[in-house]
């Protein structure tokens, strides 16, 4: 009986001690994460004014017209350079032929001088008939030589005129080629200007329609005006 009372007393003591221990606090809920700051509003891309759009359309049309003209003129320039190359080949051949003729004439001149010198020695020893025949032969050869030389001199003068005219044409063609290249560089600059100032800009379609209407009216007025 005594043991039972001790056990009951111990149980009461434990119960009383347990009552004194504070209960474990419940875990606190995590505070909600702060909302990220809103991204700044994107600035609206400006829209071109009607005057700006008109200027861009004018620049675009001018570039297109200039580009087409350059293509046509470059094609004509290329065709002309091919013509000049062909003409140069003909002139060079004629120069070569004339040089060969002049070389032959020089050799013929030496032969004529040699034949005449020999005749001065052998002529006096010839019979009159042989002498007269030789004189006739040498005279004919000399006349033919003189005619050939005079023809070569005349051809050389004509060829010199052709060569000078050809050189003038080449100079003119080179100047034209340089001018076309300069225009092409300027054209590329204008195209860059259009890309930078116009191609990525927004515009109002109503402005575009109004400008096209203005252009159509101007074109109609120009067409109806007597020339």
Domain residue extents for the chain: 46-215
Q: Which residues of the chain have pLDDT under 50?
A: 1-27, 30-35
| Alpha-carbon span 101 to 117, nearest angstrom | 24
63 close to 183: Cβ distance less than 8 angstroms: no
Report the phi/psi class of residue 197: left, alpha or beta, with left for phi > 0 and alpha for psi in -120 to 50. Answer: alpha
Virtual torsion, Cα 46, 47, 52, 57, nearest 10 deg: 130
Opening angle at CA 127, ends 121 and 131, nearest 5: 60
Q: DSSP labels for 90-119?
A: HHHHHHHHHHHHHHHHHHHHHHHHHHHHHH
User: Is the full-model pTM beyond 0.75?
Assistant: no
Output the pLDDT for position 56: 94
Which pLDDT does position 18 carry in this prediction?
39
pLDDT tens-digit profile of 89-102? 999 999 999 999 99
Q: State the pLDDT at residue 6.
A: 31
Q: DSSP states of 40-95 as a string? A: PPPPPPPBPPHHHHHHHHHHHHHHHHHHHHHHHHHHHHHHHHHHHHHHHHHHHHHH
């Amino acid at each position: 009986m005594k043991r039972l009372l001790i056990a009951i007393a111990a149980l009461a003591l434990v119960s009383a001690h347990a009552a004194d221990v504070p209960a474990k606090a419940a875990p606190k809920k995590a505070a909600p994460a702060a909302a990220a700051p809103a991204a700044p509003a994107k600035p609206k891309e400006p829209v071109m004014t009607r005057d700006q759009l008109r200027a861009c359309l004018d620049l675009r049309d001018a570039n297109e017209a200039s580009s087409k003209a350059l293509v046509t003129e470059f094609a004509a320039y290329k065709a002309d350079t091919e013509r000049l190359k062909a003409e140069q080949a003909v002139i060079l051949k004629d120069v070569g032929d004339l040089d060969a003729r002049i070389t032959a004439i020089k050799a013929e001149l030496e032969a004529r001088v040699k034949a005449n010198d020999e005749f001065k020695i052998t002529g006096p020893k010839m019979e009159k008939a042989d002498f007269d025949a030789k004189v006739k032969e040498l005279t004919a050869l000399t006349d033919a030589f003189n005619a050939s030389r005079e023809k070569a001199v005349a051809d050389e003068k004509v060829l010199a005129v052709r060569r000078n005219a050809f050189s003038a044409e080449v100079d003119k063609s080179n100047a034209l080629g340089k001018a076309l290249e300069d225009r092409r560089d300027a054209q590329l600059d204008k195209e860059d200007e259009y890309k930078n100032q116009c191609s990525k800009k927004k515009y109002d379609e109503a402005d575009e329609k109004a400008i096209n209407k203005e252009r159509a009216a101007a074109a109609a007025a120009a067409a109806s005006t007597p020339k």
